[in-house]
Amino acid sequence: MKITDVKTYVVGNPPPHFGGLYWIFLKLTTDHQLVGYGEVYSVPFHPQIVARMIEDVCARYVIGTDPFQIERLWRIVYSSGYTQRPDPSLLGVLSGIEMACWDIVGKELNKPIYELLGGQVHEKLRSYTYLYPEEADKTNVYNDPELAAERAAEYVKRGFTAVKFDPVGPYSAFDPRQLSLPALDHTEKFVQTVREAVGGQCDLLFGTHGQMTTSGAIRLARRLEKFDPLWFEEPVPPENLNEMARVARQTSIPIATGERLTTKYEFARVLEKQAASILQMALGRVGGILEAKKIAGMAEAFYAQIAPHLYCGPISGAADIQISTCSPNFLIQESIQTWGGFYAEILQEPIQWQDGYIIPPTKPGLGVELNEEVAARYPYTGQELHLDMLDRPVYQ
């Protein structure tokens, strides 16, 4: 079997844009008329440029190859242009291609991908969601502790046993910063109010984005320990793991990181330096499904757990689900609420979510199919990137 064609889809995610402004999907077709879908996460170029990057890589290395030869293809693309290092742009493209190859392999063998990577371990996957704003809100849920507490209680009633939030404030190109006393007070009150609303029914995931200096993160962690968060996410930028490890040594709150990292090489350093005990690989960026399985395996040896990241579309989410299902050290899976709305519309059949848990699919490959007609109806026509940071310092 050989791959014969690639097609890309740059899909505008309609308001309220939960999961980003757009999603980049690709479809590989084989001479057996099998198709495989993949998703590329948050490459820092305009998505139409990224689509051309996908087409270029496929023309050079993918068309004419056997989709079963995933390890060989991975090494060739990873080394292209004499790079052979964790480049997030190339790794994003490679992740989507690798994902689509696994989808084809699973369909050819009539097995879900998780059955080909050790078999099913988890019958259902615990999931969490951010506290998302709603159209009727009169205040910002990330700034208003009372509204956040109300929203968290609503999610608990729907079945969630964990919610995530970031009350520290915006993230800037000029971070990390030392939080002001008012910012520390606000954040402490925010977490306290949410904890009081949900009691012991729900874990709190403190989902910061590298805004703080090491000393600032330690100051904040000491205020939050009494509320027993499940994790403190990316308390400092991921570029300096020695400093993240300093935070980890100074707090009882588990440190989580990984959404901005790629490959087993970067995650190996996280584990070696004991910078985090919860790894949040994004399957559309990290290097794909097999790379994520290797990272999960390394983490087992350190008693670390995986909690795959999701702030993108449902194809990458489906890949998350495959790796979570077959990994013994799976902790929890990020969801965008309950996988409804446009997440359901863009697929032929929606991802199944029930009472706080994702139900792994039993269909072959990724277990989901892109609705190409819907994808074609929602082209992205904007100029902004999927995610961006403030271009000015934050004083708070």
pLDDT per residue as tens digits for the range 264-304: 999 999 999 999 999 999 999 999 999 999 999 999 999 99
Return the structure tokens found at 130: 């951010």
Residue pair 74/99 in contact by the 8 Å Cβ criterion: no
Catalytic site positions: 209, 309
Tell me the CA distances in angstroms from 116 to 90, 99, 112, 362, one per residue in order.
Answer: 26, 13, 7, 13
DSSP code at position 59 = I
Per-residue pLDDT band for 199 (boundaries 50, 70, 90) equals very high
29 strand-pairing partners:
5, 35
178-198: average pLDDT = 97
- pLDDT score of 32 more than 90: yes
Which pLDDT value is given to residue 390?
Answer: 95
CA atoms within 13 A on the CB side of 132: 17
Q: How many CB atoms lie within 10 A of CB 346?
A: 24
376-392: average pLDDT = 96
Distance of alpha carbon 331 from alpha carbon 299, whole angstroms: 12
Among residues of the chain, what percentage have pLDDT more than 90? 99
- pLDDT score of 313 more than 90: yes
Helix (H, G, I), strand (E, B) or coil at 89: helix
Which pLDDT value is given to residue 38?
Answer: 98
In 168-278, which residue ranges form alpha helices assigned H by DSSP? 181-198, 214-224, 241-249, 263-272
In 225-311, which residue ranges form alpha helices assigned H by DSSP? 241-249, 263-272, 289-301
Residue pair 388/45 in contact by the 8 Å Cβ criterion: no
The residue ranges of DSSP E strands in 104-151, in sequence order, are: 125-130
| Averaged pLDDT score across all residues of the chain | 97
Per-residue pLDDT of 94-152, as tens digits, reads 999 999 999 999 999 999 999 999 999 999 999 999 999 999 999 999 999 999 999 99
Helix (H, G, I), strand (E, B) or coil at 163: strand
Distance of alpha carbon 325 from alpha carbon 60, whole angstroms: 33
Residue pair 280/257 in contact by the 8 Å Cβ criterion: yes
76-80: average pLDDT = 98
The closest alpha carbon to 150, from 166, 168, 134, belongs to 134
Per-residue pLDDT of 96-108, as tens digits, reads 999 999 999 999 9
Cis geometry, peptide bond prior to residue 176 (ω within 30 degrees of 0): yes
- pLDDT score of 56 more than 90: yes
Exposed e or buried b for every residue in 52-72, given b needs 16+ CB within 10 A?
A: ebbbebbeeebeebebeebee
Distance of alpha carbon 69 from alpha carbon 71, whole angstroms: 6
- pLDDT score of 396 more than 90: no
- Which residues lie below 8 Å from residue 152, measured CB to CB, with a gap of 6+? 131, 163, 165, 194, 197, 198, 202
DSSP code at position 180 = P
Per-residue pLDDT of 205-252, as tens digits, reads 999 999 999 999 999 999 999 999 999 999 999 999 999 999 999 999
Domains, the chain, ranges and CATH?
3-110 (3.30.390.10), 115-366 (3.20.20.120)
